[in-house]
């Protein structure tokens, strides 16, 4: 199998086409030879990994190594022949390319739809530049508008943290796998999906949740100042760029 695997266009699924376009554009525009990269997770970020593999195959990129943010991304990179490294070897990364579940007008994010937000946050904090790739269904007027907030909790603290989240007004559901088993993160912890509706002050909520000892990771990415590449699912536009206000 070539490093790039199959990346044929899917004209029948405009959202999939948009995800591919955004992911590939991030690799084309921001990855250069010699870089150390964060490799994000999810159905959009994987297309950056595919594109990096294609560019390596074509000899247009050399001396690349990436830190994967999830076991799934690690497996994909290994399948495609994208070299991997660790934060032990490279504690600073040049560029991190990742997806998001929601992007606010201030370019703050909800992440964790795949349950990888703890590692994603570690890698984002280790990176000089965060590039977020989304289709335009992810743009929201306020965080929480369309997605529950993923909250990774220590197993012994599940009940008190659930009750704490409920006391703040959230409807809380413990995440399950497609076959109704308990979903566990790569660290072996459950996730409570806390639906708040539109969150008036995400930074203040994050501070309150970060004070809780049993809460290990909250999928709120506030103040990361990402560059956001947005591909339109209706095919009307090419990928557009949202940059943080200076
Ligand atoms: C995983 C994530 C993903 O990046 C996020 O859920 C977006 O995924 P997708 O591109 O499949 O919609 O945060 O924890």
Q: Mind giving me the DSSP string for 78-131? A: HHHT--B--TTT-SSEEEEEE--SEE-TTS-EE--TTS-HHHHHHHHHTEEEEE
Ligand 1 centroid, distance to 231 Cα (angstroms): 15
Active centre residues (catalytic): 120
Burial class of 135 by CB neighbour count within 10 A (0 to 12, 13 to 18, 19+): buried
Q: Is the pLDDT higher at 9 or at 119?
A: 119
CA–centroid distance, 198 to ligand 1, in Å, is: 19
Calpha distance 45→124 (Å, rounded)? 13
Check whether 137 has a pLDDT greater than 80.
yes
Indicate whether residue 100 lines ligand 1 (CB < 6 A).
yes
Enter the pTM of the model. Answer: 0.95
Q: What is the pLDDT of residues 162-183, one digit of tens each?
A: 999 999 999 999 999 999 999 9
- Full strand arrangement of the beta sheet holding 102-103: 102-103, 109-110, 220-221
- Pocket test of ligand 1: the residue of 45, 134, 230 to mutate, having most ligand atoms within 8 Å of its CB, is 45
Could you read off the pLDDT of 43-71 as tens digits, one per residue?
A: 999 999 999 999 999 999 999 999 999 99
Residue nearest (by alpha carbon) to ligand 1 atom 6: 113
Q: What is the pLDDT of residue 4?
A: 39
Is the model's pLDDT at 8 over the cut of 60?
no
């Amino acid at each position: 199998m070539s490093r790039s695997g199959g990346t044929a266009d899917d004209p029948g699924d405009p959202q999939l086409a948009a995800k591919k376009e955004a992911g590939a554009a991030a690799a084309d525009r921001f990855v250069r030879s010699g870089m150390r990269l964060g490799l994000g997770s999810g159905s959009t970020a994987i297309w950056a990994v595919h594109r990096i593999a294609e560019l390596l195959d074509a000899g247009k990129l050399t001396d690349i190594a990436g830190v994967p943010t999830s076991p799934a991304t690690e497996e994909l990179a290994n399948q495609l022949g994208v070299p991997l490294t660790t934060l032990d070897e490279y504690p600073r990364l040049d560029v991190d390319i990742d997806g998001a579940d929601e992007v606010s007008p201030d370019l703050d994010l909800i992440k964790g739809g795949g349950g990888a937000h703890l590692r994603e946050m570690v890698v984002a904090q280790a990176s000089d530049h965060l590039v977020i790739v989304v289709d335009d269904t992810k743009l929201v007027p306020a965080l929480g508008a369309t997605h529950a907030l993923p909250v990774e909790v220590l197993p012994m603290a599940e009940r008190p943290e659930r009750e704490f989240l409920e006391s703040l007004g959230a409807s809380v559901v413990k995440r399950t796998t497609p076959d109704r088993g308990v979903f566990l993160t790569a660290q072996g912890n459950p996730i409570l999906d806390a639906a708040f509706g539109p969150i008036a002050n995400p930074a203040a909520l994050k501070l309150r949740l970060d004070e809780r000892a049993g809460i290990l990771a909250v999928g709120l990415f506030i103040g990361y100042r990402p560059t956001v590449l947005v591909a339109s699912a209706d095919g009307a536009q090419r990928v557009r760029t949202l940059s943080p206000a200076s």
